[in-house]
Amino acid sequence: MSDCNTRIIAPSVLASDWGKVGEEVRRADEAGADWLHLDVMDGHFVENISFGPQFVSAVRPHTELTLDTHLMITRPDKYLPMFIEAGCDRITVHVEADHDVSATLADIRKAGLQCGLALNPATLLEEVTPFFDQIDLLLVMTVVPGFGGQSFMETETMPKVAEAREIRNAKGLGFHIEVDGGIDHRTVEIAANHGANVMVAGTSLYKAPDMPEAILAMRG
């Protein structure tokens, strides 16, 4: 298990060609990705609908990479068993969603998976600090969730990344800090300098002319 000081590159399948998703998953694997990021959207928590547990099951046999599943859904607790069954390795839920956050995080861990907690750009860090000792990963959204291809929201989000790292280290905790949205070879260094180590990228990797090179550039 890599620690929170290791830079991890996680392409977001949302930006891939879904008509050949098996090939696209293998392409990211062969291009040197560390994790695969799966963006689940329910059209209620976010203004878009993407895919569900059956899509995760379809992806699973095509790679050994860690499936880093981002549930942008209102009731992550209700659908958790289906995503666990589908083969997720890590499940991240939103603090803004309609569930008992501690209970959901505990249920993810009880299933033997790593758990993550996400906060949107407008959400204050104080909303998630009470859960810092219950998580394996903090996802600081760097765009408003729902769509790929948006611009990196530096001023609203980087102070939260820096403060999260400070609090984590002061408490002797070891959770990953993940950023997600508008991450490319330029913004990845801004995020890393503030304390992020898991870099989710959809457009800048899947739309790159040379994915292996784009992943290498993202490693700094």
- Asked if 17 is an active-site residue, the reply is no
> Is 180 assigned a catalytic role?
yes
Q: Which of 4, 8, 9, 14 binds ligand DX5 (CB under 6 A)?
A: 14
The helix/strand/coil state of 49 is strand
Dihedral sign, Cα of residue 25, residue 28, residue 29, residue 31: positive
Q: Which of 34, 39, 42, 178 binds Zn ion (CB under 5 A)?
A: 39
Q: Which of 25, 183, 196, 214 binds ligand DX5 (CB under 6 A)?
A: 183
Can you give the length of the chain in residues?
220
Q: Which is nearer to Zn ion, 90 or 170 (CB)?
A: 90
Q: Which stretch binds ligand DX5 (CB under 6 A): 8-16, 58-66, 106-114, 191-199?
A: 8-16
Output 15 or 137, the one with its CB closest to ligand DX5. Answer: 15
Q: Is the Cβ–Cβ distance between 86 and 57 less than 8 Å?
A: yes
Residue 149 found at the interface with ligand DX5 (CB under 6 A): yes
Residue 194 to residue 187: CA distance in whole angstroms: 11
116 token code pair:
């993550």
75/167 with CB nearer ligand DX5: 75
| Nearer of residues 150 and 167 to ligand DX5, judged by Cβ | 150
Q: What is the DSSP letter of 133?
A: G
In this structure, what token pair is assigned to residue 108? 């993810």
Query: Which of the residues 160 through 179 are near ligand DX5 (CB under 6 A)?
Result: none
Rg (CA), the chain: 16
Asked if 160 touches Zn ion (CB under 5 A), the answer is no
Please tell me the distance from the alpha carbon of residue 104 to that of residue 94, in angstroms, as a whole number.
10
Q: Is 11 in the site for ligand DX5 (CB under 6 A)?
A: no
Q: Which residues pair with 187 in a beta bridge?
A: none
Active site residues: 39, 180
Binding residues for Zn ion, per CB under 5 A? Answer: 39, 70, 180
